[in-house]
């Protein structure tokens, strides 16, 4: 099945600078948003605390809910509507973990029933201690980092047959993480430093394919996290799962294009690399668009019909698929051209 004519010839590489400027603008907006918000808006999984989902049998006043919570010493709790407006459901978040046994559930139910005059149903209670939340945050960041690490080894070996050099780069990344961890450096700074070391090594060792793939993946993750920060959406464990899925999806798209570039380079030795890359992107464009479209149809269905529990996950996936498809064309492939000698490939 082909949605796009096989002889299409869009000048993607000729528009690469516009793509770089657009990506740079999105990354800058993401970084500014993260700085202004002092990082992502961590959910209970990472920040710790208690979350209570309550449902009332009629419309209630928020001030009455706050008044009832204050009598339990939960005056610092935040309130948020959950679901549709007429569902009369709310999420109550407290910054510290509370006792979440049967006694706590009955107490909050009685207090809210008295303060609002409406029958209260406790739908769920979740509690995460601050130390557990901090550890989960650390493990989530390391999961993303090690995903990028093993991708580096695979791409370098698969497309450039430089398994030894890719191993050296991976060792340098892990050494940077270990060295900085000795000084109790924060995990975000630690991983950023390790990635910068790896990109410098890619450039020095001329690992063009690995450079293109990893830059595109960092681009995808950073912009997705930035969009979450921009809209004030919660960053939780399901979002980490979404980010790891996005890394896999984007990498799959990139590998398809890279494979076609390598194939065309072996058959067209007298054609410039720019033309080979552009031809390869056009030849795989139908497959890229078809795959992305069918994936987005499913994700949009999840986003609109899946309910609030899966809403943020689906939003992260939709954002990631769109950004990942864009980066395979306008970031990963043009990076090959940027890091290669400007000459005819033999």
Q: What CATH number does the domain containing 119 carry?
A: 3.30.70.3400
Q: Are residues 72 and 36 in the same domain?
A: no
Return the structure tokens found at 324: 């990942």
| Residue 37 and residue 55 share a domain | no
pLDDT at 6: 63
Asked whether residue 3 is assigned to any structural domain, the reply reads: no
Residues 120 and 141 in one domain: no
* pTM for the structure as a whole: 0.78
Residues 33 and 74 in one domain: no
Q: What is the pLDDT of residue 344?
A: 41
242: in domain: yes
For residue 2, is it within any domain? no
Number of neighbours of residue 294 by Cβ within 10 angstroms: 10
183 part of a folded domain = yes
Tell me whether residue 275 is exposed, middle or buried, using C-beta atoms within 10 angstroms of its C-beta: 0 to 12, 13 to 18, 19 or more.
Answer: middle
pLDDT value, residue 181:
65
Residue 3 φ then ψ, to 5°:
-85, -20
Q: Is residue 97 part of a domain?
A: yes
User: Do 215 and 335 share a domain, yes or no?
Assistant: yes
Among residues 128, 159, 190, the one where a domain terminates is: 128
Same domain, 285 and 166: yes
CATH code of 216's domain: 1.20.1640.10
101/139 same-domain check: no
Which residue, of 78, 96, 128, is where some domain finishes? 128
Phi, psi dihedrals of residue 104, rounded to the nearest 5°:
-65, -40
* Same domain (yes/no): 208, 308: yes
Do 37 and 57 belong to one domain?
no
Tell me: do 142 and 115 sit in the same domain: no
Helix, coil or strand: residue 118: coil
Report phi then psi at 127, rounded to 5: -135, 130
Tokens of 135: 């550890």
Of the residues 109, 128, 147, the one at which a domain ends: 128
Place of tokens 């706050």: 66
Bin 48: left if φ > 0, else alpha if -120 < ψ < 50, else beta: left
Tens digit of pLDDT per residue, the chain (346 long)? 556 666 778 888 888 889 899 999 999 999 999 888 887 887 776 767 788 888 888 888 888 888 887 887 777 777 777 777 777 888 888 776 655 555 777 888 888 888 888 888 888 887 776 566 667 777 777 777 777 777 777 887 777 777 777 777 777 777 766 776 666 666 666 667 777 777 787 788 788 888 888 888 889 988 998 998 888 888 888 888 888 888 888 888 888 888 888 888 887 777 888 888 898 888 888 888 888 899 999 999 989 887 777 888 899 999 999 999 999 889 988 888 887 755 443 3
Residue 185: what pLDDT?
Answer: 60
Q: Quick check: is 335 in a domain?
A: yes
Residue 305: give the domain boundaries. Answer: 13-43+132-339
Per DSSP bridges, beta strands 78-82 and 234-235 are unpaired
Residues 156 and 225 in one domain: yes
Query: Is the domain of 59 the same as that of 155?
Result: no
345 falls within a domain: no
Q: Own/partner pairs for 304-313, CB < 8 Å, 24+ apart?
A: 307/83, 308/82, 308/83, 310/238, 312/228, 312/233, 312/234, 312/236, 312/238, 312/239, 313/238, 313/239, 313/241, 313/242
- How far, in Å, are 70, 204, 264, 314 from residue 346 at the CA level? 75, 21, 12, 45
Total domains present in the chain: 2
């Amino acid at each position: 099945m082909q949605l796009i004519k096989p002889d299409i010839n869009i000048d993607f590489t000729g528009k690469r600078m516009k793509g770089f400027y657009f990506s740079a603008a999105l990354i800058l907006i993401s970084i500014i948003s993260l700085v202004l918000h002092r990082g992502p808006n961590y959910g209970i999984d990472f920040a710790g605390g208690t979350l209570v989902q309550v449902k009332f049998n009629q419309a209630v006043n928020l001030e009455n809910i706050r008044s009832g919570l204050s009598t339990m010493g939960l005056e610092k709790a935040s309130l948020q509507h959950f679901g549709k407006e007429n569902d009369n459901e709310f999420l109550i978040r407290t910054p510290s973990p509370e006792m979440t046994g049967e006694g706590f559930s009955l107490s909050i139910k009685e207090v809210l029933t008295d303060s609002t005059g409406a029958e209260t149903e406790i739908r769920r209670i979740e509690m995460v201690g601050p130390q557990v939340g901090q550890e989960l945050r650390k493990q989530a960041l390391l999961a993303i980092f090690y995903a990028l690490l093993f991708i580096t080894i695979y791409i370098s070996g698969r497309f450039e047959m430089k398994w030894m050099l890719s191993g050296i780069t991976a060792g340098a990344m892990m050494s940077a993480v270990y060295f900085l961890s000795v000084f109790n450096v924060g995990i975000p700074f630690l991983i950023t430093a390790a990635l910068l070391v790896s990109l410098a090594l890619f450039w020095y060792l001329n690992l063009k394919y690995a450079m293109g793939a990893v830059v595109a993946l960092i681009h995808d993750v950073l912009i997705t996290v930035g969009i979450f920060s921009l809209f004030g959406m919660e960053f939780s464990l399901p979002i980490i799962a979404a980010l790891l899925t996005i890394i896999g999806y984007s990498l799959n798209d990139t590998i398809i294009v890279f494979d076609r570039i390598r194939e065309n380079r072996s058959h067209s030795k007298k054609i410039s690399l720019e033309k080979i890359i552009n031809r390869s992107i056009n030849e795989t464009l139908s497959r890229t668009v078809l795959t992305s479209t069918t994936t987005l149809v499913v994700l949009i269905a999840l986003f609109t019909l899946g309910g609030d529990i899966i809403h943020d996950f689906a939003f992260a996936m939709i954002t990631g698929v769109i950004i990942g498809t864009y980066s395979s064309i306008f970031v990963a492939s043009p990076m090959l051209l940027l890091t290669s000698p400007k000459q005819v490939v033999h």
